[in-house]
Amino acid sequence: MDWPCPVYYLPAECITSLGYAAMALCDYDFTPDFHMFPAAPTSGVFKAYGPKSMKGRKPDEWGILSARACGASRIMDWIETQSCIDAKHVD
């Protein structure tokens, strides 16, 4: 399919002009990568839900990907409350 607009990171004007909605999220808003930011388990989603440190963590405990999935899920919860968006067609 030929895209009718120049390609940018998120060409919002083009997307919305075709009748679609576009949303972007930054996964670092939920929690940064632990290897890049050792404070990761004390910030973002971890600050609210724990654990408070990486010491003594069990292998089956939730981690950074789970924290990001949790954040994305909360955004989807919000999207479903918006009357201007048909949540049944969100991909």
Tell me the C-alpha distance between 31 and 33, whole Å.
Answer: 7
Q: What are the residues whose beta carbons fall under 8 Å from the beta carbon of 11, sequence distance 6 or more?
A: 5
Tell me the C-alpha distance between 74 and 35, whole Å.
Answer: 25
Judge whether 61 lies within some domain.
yes
Q: Which range marks the domain in which residue 46 is found?
A: 19-89
Handedness of CA 45, 50, 54, 60 (dihedral sign): negative
Considering the entire predicted model, what is its pTM? 0.65
Tally of structural domains, the chain: 1
Question: What does the pLDDT profile of the chain (91 residues) look like in tens digits?
Answer: 455 555 557 888 888 899 888 888 877 777 776 666 565 566 677 777 776 666 766 766 777 788 888 888 999 999 999 999 888 888 7
Judge whether 13 lies within some domain.
no
